[in-house]
Chain A
């Protein structure tokens, strides 16, 4: 008999206070409590974190990499969003 599928979770860990939670990997668990315990055992055996988030993988909506050109084009073309676009005379000093 085929082994039934167990839900997939994505694991995020804050390595120390002041830093954001960062995606570290995924795991299978029947529910959120088991997912947290498994995340502790799998991803923090050597003091890698102070806080863990587990999120059902199915709850994540992702952008399509095939459409990344269209998706991120507006950011590419607006060079006036960067400070280097503006000319400030050298005499003014650091700004």
Chain B
């Protein structure tokens, strides 16, 4: 044995071992193998995924609020039933995602508490208000449309539980987008006032929806490692462009005008949009959007008002298990 080896501390050994494991880990990722919960993974991979999946879960849960706002005022029973089902789906998506996040070692309760304490982020889009019924159409068509663009590549994410949750979510999102588009189409084929309402919703949602894809590639902080780890397979700008290219013809079909008069189509057929106001995005992320305080207050209220239900269920379960133990002893 070399004398040097006697001097290495445990920590150094661990670092050398971790470097070797990290190499094997990256080789598995490169070979398109999926990583499962009990597999070894670098601490930074675990941390990145916990952050991303829990933020995604929070977004689904907070996302129920702007749409829930219109359930009681939906214009027909058909619309109301569809909206109820959609909002229930969003809740389900939140729960699949919390379950996926938990497999990385942080409990759902801890993750929810972080969100309620205002220490975790959720998608900036849900800090905008739903002022008219047309906003429900615009959310389904544009917000869910953007979410699908983002989520389809996540079905092939390197982390197994996240990828599996996304497969379920994507199947369900398709109904969401179609019901939104149908609302827009009905309004656009209606009276002048209804069509104006649809145009107004598009005007207000267009830019915030483009911001949903996150900062431009030259300013994104998580892009490089996420791509290396195959968590993210397309950059923010690539996904944004795909979304714009898919959406412009749909707006034309509706007879609506995208609120970007300088938009042009390049030779390759891509729609070139005007610069995005990232200052607005940063302000909303920093908590200064139109509804940030409202959304968190509503989540906290719901959580607090549900406390007695959690307590009662736990008390009943404890009583039942005591009774079972007593009966078994007889």
Contact = CB atoms under 8 A, between A and B. Distances in A.
Main DSSP-derived SS at the B contact region: helix
A30 B314 CA distance: 5
Q: What size tier do the contact residues of chain A reach?
A: 20 to 34
A64 B13 CA distance: 23
Kindly state the interface size class of chain B when it binds its partner. Answer: 20 to 34
B38 interface: yes
A40 to B, nearest CB: 11
Contacts of B330: none
Contacts of B89: 45
A4 B310 contact: yes
Most buried by A among B85, B107, B165, B172: B107
Interface in A3-53: 3-6, 8, 25-31, 34, 41-42, 45-46
Nearest to B85: A45
Nearest to B116: A3
Interface string B295-330: 000000001000000100110110011000000000
A72 to B, nearest CB: 15
A66 interface: yes
Given A4-B314, A5-B109, A65-B38, A42 B95 contact: yes
A11 B172 CA distance: 19
Given A4-B310, A42-B92, A28 B316 contact: no
26 contacts: A2-B110, A3-B109, A3-B112, A4-B310, A5-B107, A5-B109, A6-B313, A8-B102, A25-B96, A25-B165, A26-B99, A30-B310, A30-B314, A30-B316, A30-B317, A31-B316, A31-B320, A31-B321, A41-B88, A42-B92, A42-B95, A42-B96, A45-B172, A62-B38, A64-B38, A66-B40
Interface of B: 36, 38-40, 85, 88-89, 92, 95-96, 99, 102, 107-110, 112-113, 164-165, 172, 303, 310, 313-314, 316-317, 320-321
